[in-house]
Amino acid sequence: MQQSTNPPSLLLIRHGETQWNKEGRLQGQQDTPLSLTGIRQCQAVADNVKGILQSFEQHHYWMSPLARTQQTASICAAVWGVPFRRFQRDPALMERHYGKWEGHTLSEVAEHMTAEYLAFQTDRWHYASPGGESLAQVYQRAQQWLTVLPSDGLHIVVSHSGCLAALHSLYCQTDKQQTANLEIVQTSSILLHQGRAQVLELSPTLLANYQLQDGGRQVRL
């Protein structure tokens, strides 16, 4: 993204833990529902960022059209006292499509689709699994979405680890390796404002209040 003197401010929120997240399975553009832990994560994150929302006069609400992000956005909306209908669905915010890898763990991919897994390890940026997307393609659609975003107010974005990592990288102008390695856990959110990134982690008190044991997880690709 070409940085302007007034880039859009973004609050990045990842969906809560799903049933496949618990099992370490690549979910991509398939869906499983939030777990009980995932619901608690959504409540805690929404509670944690209330002050951020209050510091902006104008808000824009965005979400991926996948069910797990809609469920997350619905919980956040309830915590914030915001009508869910204010969230706009945008396919540009969907998770990376993993094609035939979806539903499998990485260890299963490595064991049963060895040639594909080795090709991925050789070029993590450009490789796309059969029927899926490369990280470069996710980055490109995130860039196209960000380029036309209005610069006024705060844009709250409920999405997925792959897409959020791309938005973070575009905003902060980090390199490909940093994008590929960025970890976005389910109990933190990220504020991108005035050219800087601020990770908003949950305090021990909030973790305890919502009966959360850790920061969440993601399948690292």
For 80, list phi and psi in degrees, rounded to 5.
Answer: -85, -10
User: How many residues are given for the chain?
Assistant: 221
* Active-site residue identified among 15, 97, 104, 168: 15
Bridge partners (DSSP) of residue 10 are 155, 192
To the nearest 10 degrees (0 to 180), the angle between helices 36-48 and 67-80 is 50
Catalytic residue among 17, 57, 60, 95: 95
Give me the pLDDT at residue 3, please: 43
Query: Is 102 one of the catalytic residues?
Result: no
Contact 219, 24 (CB under 8 A): yes
pLDDT at 219: 62
Q: In this structure, are strands 154-159 and 9-14 parallel, antiparallel, or unpaired?
A: parallel
Split the chain (221 residues) into runs of 10 and give each run's mean pLDDT.
66 96 94 95 97 96 98 98 98 96 96 96 93 95 94 96 93 81 86 94 94 73 61
95 is catalytic: yes
Does the reported pTM lie above 0.75?
Answer: yes
Contact 72, 159 (CB under 8 A): no
